Amino acid sequence: MTDKSLGLIGKYRVERVDGKPVKWSFTLEDKDPLALPALKAYSQQARAAGYTALANDLDEKIREIEWDRMMESWPPEARDYISHLRSQNRALEEKLTEKSGALSTLVSAINLVRAEGNDLLRHLADQSSRSSTVDNRSASYLGSLRARLHERFAMLDRVMKALANGS
């Protein structure tokens, strides 16, 4: 922070990402001793106004700044080790997010296949009930098709249970 007698000064050049002009902005560096109280107040106001995602992001940034300030008093080896662990944690979180997205997609696909299979079973049952004379070959084919669909449903159930159990 600069001299307390200066008041509001133009210290930064700020540009919008979309290129639109910026008439005025208020910028704080994380080292500024007033940054945390200002961010906390802004987060509270954002949450009160319904900007929950913004408030959550600001709260995360506040925790990061508080953590960084606390770490400044630690020996360099400890800071390096903690920074290494944090970067590993971020990498693991990214992988977990990827995996959960893939699992969600898989579950959606399984549910879609199940719905289509149920539609097909209803259609087969309807066709069988309408046809008074189903030859033996057609009846055999329909029966084996039903059996295969039921096997697939059992397999989908096992996959869903495995996903739910995390294995």
pLDDT tens-digit readout, 54-77: 999 999 999 989 888 888 888 888
pLDDT at 71: 81
Rounded to whole angstroms, the Cα distance separating 52 from 149 reads: 45
Which one, of 148, 80, 149, lies nearest residue 114 by Cα?
149
Where is mean pLDDT largest: 16-25, 85-94, 144-153?
16-25
Q: Which residues contact 127 (CB under 8 A, 6 or more apart)?
A: 142
What's this model's pTM, rounded to 2 decimal places? Answer: 0.49
Rounded-to-integer distance, Cα 114 and Cα 158, Å: 13
Tell me the average pLDDT across 110-128.
Answer: 74
Q: Where are the domains of the chain?
A: 1-73, 97-167
Q: Closest by alpha carbon to 135, among 143, 123, 146, 126?
A: 143
By the 8 A CB rule, do 129 and 121 touch?
no
pLDDT digits (tens, 9 = 90+) for 10-42: 888 889 999 999 988 888 888 888 999 999 999
